[in-house]
């Protein structure tokens, strides 16, 4: 079992992965050419950096922060002020470098506030970060000179002479700036996980006490990682400032911090790429799903609930588990069950969603009549029959789902036992 032998094929795989990532970033705006598509893509890049920087704390360091928006947010504010300074000619840097200012700001504030928060771990750490978040948000209302009050601070990214035709006027140019930053930031954050500090951060997550007895100061490990995470968070904030050309106090709000936490978790904190999935979902939920239905937060809450209960490793762990099954050639056995789960799940969801939509309609917009159109069907929110029908659909769907789920669970266990036997057999040889 030489290391060299193991490493080389992995490196090829890694090279392919990174090339694919670059290609996806490159061609994505050619596939989604609409204005909305570009907006969504730009925000995804920004969110990916933010969620990955958050996961440096949560997944890699076991630090449950409730205040990560402080660092993305303050990075955004410093970046928009820097942009305005560039406009007025006070700051001689190119617009492309403005996100770096955000990064340095995030890093600076992480160094300042993290000095307090990272002295503690676990619940205490979580509580202090929450307090810091509240503190900074309260401050944002108290100091309108810096935070711009309710209107926020706006800027203009189209300044100075065009450099190689790049003015950052068209959104596509901003997208590619974000894409470049995203690629580099993701690569750097991945590289971090392969360094001595990155590994000791995992060790601190696993067993802080033991770390102290192999020569490391756990506080210093957490603190250093916190500062690095703050830098990338600030980069993300700075890109956001360039993208929107306005920064308001909501960027440091607890809701933003909560979103980073929830979507990082949803994507999967135990794998490096998990938060990338989470970030993509976050933008889809906030930009698209919220247009789709007023009850989107409720659906989101339900999704989180089920994920925490049934797949605490997030989407990334679901993907990895199925890849493992596929590696042993057993995925084909499961497709029927997956299809069944999807169909019955959708039926149950349709019933439940119909009732949720009717409830929301009754509560919020009953003045616009009692009828709503849901999935092409006109439902009468005051008609008992429609409520009953929706309930029946939901119950039947749930019942069928449970039947399929039991079958699936049985198959899954058999396959896991098979894999277990195979891998143990190889160990013994």
Contacting residues toward other proteins, per CB under 8 A: 1, 3, 7, 191-192, 194-200, 202-203, 205-207, 209-217, 220-221, 224, 228, 427
Nearer to other proteins, 150 or 209 (CB): 209
- Tell me if 77 sits within 8 A of 247, measured CB to CB: yes
Please classify residue 163 by burial: count the beta carbons closer than 10 Å to its beta carbon, then call 0-12 exposed, 13-18 middle and 19+ buried.
exposed
Nearer to other proteins, 96 or 219 (CB): 219
* Residue tagged 């909305």 (tokens): 36
Minimum CB separation of residue 198 from other proteins in Å reads 7
The Cα–Cα gap between 64 and 58 comes to 5
Nearer to other proteins, 206 or 291 (CB): 206
Positive or negative CA dihedral for 304, 306, 312, 315? negative
Q: For residue 147, which phi and psi values (nearest 5 degrees)?
A: -90, -5
Minimum CB separation of residue 214 from other proteins in Å reads 5
Q: Is 246 helix (H, G, I), strand (E, B) or coil?
A: strand
Nearer to other proteins, 12 or 214 (CB): 214
The Cα–Cα gap between 93 and 342 comes to 52
Nearer to other proteins, 161 or 194 (CB): 194
Nearest to 227 by CA among 426, 71, 367: 71
Nearer to other proteins, 174 or 228 (CB): 228
Minimum CB separation of residue 154 from other proteins in Å reads 36
Minimum CB separation of residue 209 from other proteins in Å reads 7
What's the token pair of residue 137? 């948000």
- Tell me if 136 sits within 8 A of 74, measured CB to CB: yes
Minimum CB separation of residue 220 from other proteins in Å reads 6
Nearest to 198 by CA among 216, 179, 180: 216
Nearer to other proteins, 3 or 367 (CB): 3
Minimum CB separation of residue 285 from other proteins in Å reads 30
Alpha helix stretches (DSSP H) within 273-327: 274-283, 290-292, 296-310, 314-327
Minimum CB separation of residue 417 from other proteins in Å reads 16
């Amino acid at each position: 079992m030489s290391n060299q032998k193991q490493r080389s094929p992995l490196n090829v795989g890694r090279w392919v992965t990174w090339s694919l990532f670059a290609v996806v970033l490159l061609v994505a705006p050619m596939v989604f050419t609409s204005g909305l598509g570009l907006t969504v893509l730009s925000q995804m890049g920004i969110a990916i950096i933010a969620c990955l920087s958050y996961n440096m704390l949560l997944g890699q360091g076991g630090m449950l922060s409730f205040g990560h928006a402080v660092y993305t947010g303050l990075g955004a504010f410093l970046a928009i002020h820097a942009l305005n300074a560039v406009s007025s000619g006070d700051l001689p840097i190119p617009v492309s470098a403005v996100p770096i200012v955000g990064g340095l700001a995030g890093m600076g504030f992480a160094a300042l506030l993290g000095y307090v928060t990272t002295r503690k771990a676990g619940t205490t750490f979580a509580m202090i970060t929450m307090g810091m978040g509240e503190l900074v948000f309260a401050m944002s209302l108290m100091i309108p000179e810096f935070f711009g009050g309710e209107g926020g601070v706006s800027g203009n990214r189209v300044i100075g002479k065009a450099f190689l035709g790049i003015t950052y006027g068209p959104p596509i140019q901003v997208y590619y700036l974000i894409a470049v930053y995203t690629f580099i930031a993701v690569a750097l954050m991945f590289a971090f996980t392969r360094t001595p500090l990155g590994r000791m951060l995992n060790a601190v997550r696993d067993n802080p006490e033991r770390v102290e007895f192999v020569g490391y100061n756990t506080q210093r490990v957490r603190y250093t990682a916190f500062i690095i995470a703050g830098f990338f968070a600030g980069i993300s904030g700075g890109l956001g400032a360039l993208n929107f050309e306005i920064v308001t106090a909501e960027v440091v709000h607890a809701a933003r911090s909560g979103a980073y936490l929830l979507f990082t978790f949803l994507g999967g904190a135990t794998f490096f790429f998990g938060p990338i999935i989470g970030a993509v979902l976050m933008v889809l939920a906030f930009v698209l799903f919220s247009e789709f239905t007023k009850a989107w937060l409720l659906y989101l809450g339900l999704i989180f609930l089920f994920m925490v209960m049934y797949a605490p490793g997030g989407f990334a762990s679901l993907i990895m588990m199925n890849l493992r099954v596929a590696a042993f050639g057993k995925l084909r056995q499961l497709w029927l069950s997956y299809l069944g789960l999807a169909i019955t799940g959708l039926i149950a969801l349709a019933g439940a969603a119909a009732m949720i939509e009717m409830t929301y309609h009754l509560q919020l917009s009953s003045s616009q009549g009692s009828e709503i159109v849901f999935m092409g069907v006109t439902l009468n929110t005051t008609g008992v029959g429609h409520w009953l029908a929706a309930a029946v659909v939901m119950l039947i769907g749930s019942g069928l789902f449970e039947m399929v789920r039991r079958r699936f669970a049985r198959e899954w266990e058999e396959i896991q036992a098979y894999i277990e036997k195979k891998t143990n057999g190889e160990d013994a040889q």
